[in-house]
Amino acid sequence: MISIIIPTLNEADHIGNCIQRLVLGRLEIVEIIVVDASPTDHTRMIAESLGATVFAVPKVSRAFQMNFGARKASGNILYFVHADVLPPVTYAADIMQAVHEGFAAGRFRFRFASGKMMLKLNAWFTRFDRLWTSGGDETLFVKKDVFDRCNGYDEKYVIMEEYDLIKRIRISERFRIIPKDVVVSARKYDQNSWWKVQRANFTAFRLFSRGEDPSVIRQTYHSMIRHPKDSR
């Protein structure tokens, strides 16, 4: 069984489309869990109306929220999805096939919901199997026993939490890049130039690679761009 876990904070504008896409591709072996930290908007109401199991939590932290969802999950495969991402309709079958082939974890490629040339360039790089081309936007599936052995997400990572987990998984497990695209919102680029976002991303990854304190990485990253999730 695949348990889909979606951490949310004020995602009323996106959660409906995300769940509707997940429902299109779901098999009878899929459950959808939303772990919501939204204080005011209608994220929970929308998610529940579409059949998701919703848990309200007081802590605004993706790592915490995803660990919480993993503890509530019934499936032997966990699939972590951001609310502003649309997986391919075949996602469930694709994940099951990858696990059948012996991969313990993996991700999809991505493309932005935008026709801008430079964003197409970003998307092109996600076909390559490198840590710096991975992250939360591509979504992440992992067998639950592997996730548990890795002790899940390290909650000290207030940013770069997916990179840290993927790095630890890949030490001992096979990791699959499924050659299909998830569609990612380009909202970060609505308020920032392409160059400004790339510079911030590069800086954050460099600090992560050097082992810098996650709070410092987050503070540095958010000082460099205007981000739609600055409250995180």
Where does the pLDDT of residue 40 fall: very low under 50, low under 70, confident under 90, or very high at 90 and above? confident
Residue 155 maps to a domain = yes
Q: How many domains does the chain have?
A: 1
Question: Does residue 204 lie within any of the structural domains?
Answer: no
User: In angstroms, rounded to a whole number, what is the distance separating the alpha carbons of residues 60 and 66?
Assistant: 11
Q: CA angle 134-14-35, nearest 5°?
A: 75
Rounded-to-integer distance, Cα 7 and Cα 196, Å? 26
Residue 131 lies in a domain: yes
First to last CA, the chain: 31
The boundaries of the domain holding residue 120 are 2-187
**According to the model, what pLDDT value does residue 139 have?**
97
| CATH number, residue 158 | 3.90.550.10
pLDDT of 232: 45
Task: State how far the Cα of 116 lies from the Cα of 205, in Å rounded to an integer.
Answer: 24
User: In this structure, is residue 112 part of a structural domain?
Assistant: yes
Asked if residue 192 is part of any domain, the answer here is no
- Give a yes or no: residue 197 inside a domain: no
Q: Do residues 207 and 216 make contact, with C-beta atoms less than 8 angstroms apart?
A: yes
Domain contains 77? yes
Which two three-digit tokens encode residue 214?
């996650």
What are the pLDDT digits (tens) for 165-219? 999 999 999 999 999 999 999 998 988 999 999 999 999 999 999 999 999 999 9
What average pLDDT does the segment 80-100 reach? 97
- Chain segment 9-26, per-residue pLDDT in tens: 999 999 999 999 999 877
